[in-house]
Amino acid sequence: DLNKNQSYKQLMTLVDKYKTMGVRTNADTPKDVEQATYFGAEGVGLFRTEHMFYGEGSDKPLFLLRKMIMSDTEQERKSALNELFTFVKRDIKATLEVMKGNPVTIRLLDPPLHEFVPHDKAKLQELSKELGVSMSILNRRILALHENNPMLGHRGVRLGVSYPEITEMQVRAIFEAAGELQKEGVKAFPEIMIPVTCGRHELSHQKAIVDKVYDETLEKLGVKKIPYLYGTMIEIPRAALKADSMAMVADFFSFGTNDLTQMSFGFSRDDIGGFLPKYLDLKLLPGDPFVSIDQSGVGELIKIGVERGRKTKPNLKVGICGEHGGDAESVKFCHSIGMNYVSCSPFRVPIARLAAAQAAIEDKKYVKTS
């Protein structure tokens, strides 16, 4: 038991005394959150709502999502969405509850929809029966979702714009979960985060939905206020460059350095085992950009994003939630450009805390500012 080890405990007490940046965790399930709290996470920097469509226990939610995308009657789509709402709210409520008022950044649905379509015959048959459409019609609908470059396609905020009802369902789940906890005497602080954005109008489009659902939820639950923040991932180079206007509609930025690295270098993040290791061995580029932030490239973009964002909104909250948030060198870089927090996988939380403290000590700026 790590927390019972005296030396570790002493070290971490010192670390927390010196570090100025917060350290949060990326967590996909309430169980991850508990694990990360044990390692000292001070909040959740990235809760990926899509986790419920993968792996154990995903059959029913996945089926409902498929139904919602592929039904042709409004009524069927609505009823699938309403049922899905129950699953989404349950998970979010459990996560907010574990965090007891510490911030939980909930990212709205990100992956391209075709990732969720069935490929095995039995599942296809089940869906065609449920929707009352022939296999050939169903196959045609699936084909219509096909994209040659799905990671550069219909994902993130683009889904929220095409399917505003999906955004609405998720946001309602967030506000109802937080509002109900408040009524039960449990503090909750959700941060709603929009993925894969590259301009301010996308953010305003989604914010209009958030505002409407917020008012409706206050009325439904009879509460005066539900504290929350609204913000965006910065993971497309254009978003970093347009940070001044993005900040007009965002309370916070979280740099998604997995996608930002992919889109800045043009290297596929899903093919890092291919030609890339040998190519990087040639030392034509500075290190592996998927491990440490490339300070002279992607890092510059991040710096520009932070500076431009804060020029518009001086108190803009800024963090990072890509894999780099758990890399010591990158954590130091994040400190140097004035980020408020880093977020990484649960097991990397102690490393990130240590690196954040080292950065503050080297910088001689270890008086806590927040």
| Closer Cβ to Mg ion, 180 or 235, answer by number | 235
In DSSP terms, 44 is beta-bridged to: 25, 104
- Catalytic residue at 321? yes
Residue 256 marked as a ligand binder: yes
Asked if 112 interacts with ligand PEP (CB under 6 A), we say: no
Asked if 259 interacts with ligand PEP (CB under 6 A), we say: yes
Residue 48 marked as a ligand binder: yes
Asked if 289 interacts with ligand PEP (CB under 6 A), we say: no
Give kind and range of the element (H or E) at residue 202: helix 200-221
Asked if 46 interacts with ligand PEP (CB under 6 A), we say: yes
Q: Are 166 and 173 in contact (CB under 8 A)?
A: no
For Mg ion, the binding residues (CB under 5 A) are: 235, 256, 259
Asked if 198 interacts with ligand PEP (CB under 6 A), we say: no
CA 316 to CA 340: how far, in whole Å? 9
CA 297 to CA 303: how far, in whole Å? 10
3-state SS record for 7-57: HHHHHHHHHHHHCCCEEEEEECCHHHHHHHHHCCCCCEEEEEHHHHHCCCC
CB of 220 to ligand PEP, least distance (A): 31
DSSP state of 285: S
326 binds, among ligand PEP, Mg ion, none (CB under 5 to 8 A by kind): none
| Closer Cβ to ligand PEP, 22 or 322, answer by number | 322
321 binds, among Mg ion, ligand PEP, none (CB under 5 to 8 A by kind): ligand PEP
CA 279 to CA 274: how far, in whole Å? 9
| Closer Cβ to ligand PEP, 151 or 221, answer by number | 151
Asked if 327 interacts with ligand PEP (CB under 6 A), we say: no
45 binds, among ligand PEP, Mg ion, none (CB under 5 to 8 A by kind): none
CA 180 to CA 222: how far, in whole Å? 10
CB of 322 to Mg ion, least distance (A): 7
Quickly list DSSP for 133-166: --HHHHHHHHHHT--SSGGGSS-THHHHHH-HHH
Asked if 292 interacts with ligand PEP (CB under 6 A), we say: no
CB of 356 to Mg ion, least distance (A): 23
In DSSP terms, 189 is beta-bridged to: 103
294 binds, among ligand PEP, Mg ion, none (CB under 5 to 8 A by kind): none
| Closer Cβ to ligand PEP, 19 or 155, answer by number | 155
213 binds, among Mg ion, ligand PEP, none (CB under 5 to 8 A by kind): none
| 259, two tokens | 């996608």
Asked if 54 interacts with ligand PEP (CB under 6 A), we say: no
**Helix residue spans in the chain (DSSP H):** 6-18, 30-38, 59-70, 74-99, 121-131, 135-144, 157-162, 164-183, 200-221, 237-241, 243-246, 257-265, 276-281, 298-312, 328-336, 349-363
Q: Are 353 and 5 in contact (CB under 8 A)?
A: no
CA 294 to chain centre: 21
| Closer Cβ to ligand PEP, 174 or 181, answer by number | 174
Asked if 264 interacts with ligand PEP (CB under 6 A), we say: no
CA 67 to CA 73: how far, in whole Å? 10
CA 152 to CA 113: how far, in whole Å? 13
Among 118, 256, 289, 309, contact with ligand PEP (rule: CB under 6 A):
256
| Closer Cβ to Mg ion, 259 or 323, answer by number | 259
In the block, residue with structure tokens 């045609």: 140
| Binding segment (CB under 6 A) for ligand PEP, from list 71-79, 255-263, 293-301, 357-365 | 255-263
Show binding-site residues for substrate.
Answer: 48, 107, 235, 256-259
The residues binding ligand PEP (CB under 6 A) are 46, 48, 110, 235, 256-259, 321-322
Show binding-site residues.
Answer: 48, 107, 235, 256-259
Residues acting as catalytic residues: 321
Show binding-site residues for Mg(2+).
Answer: 235, 259
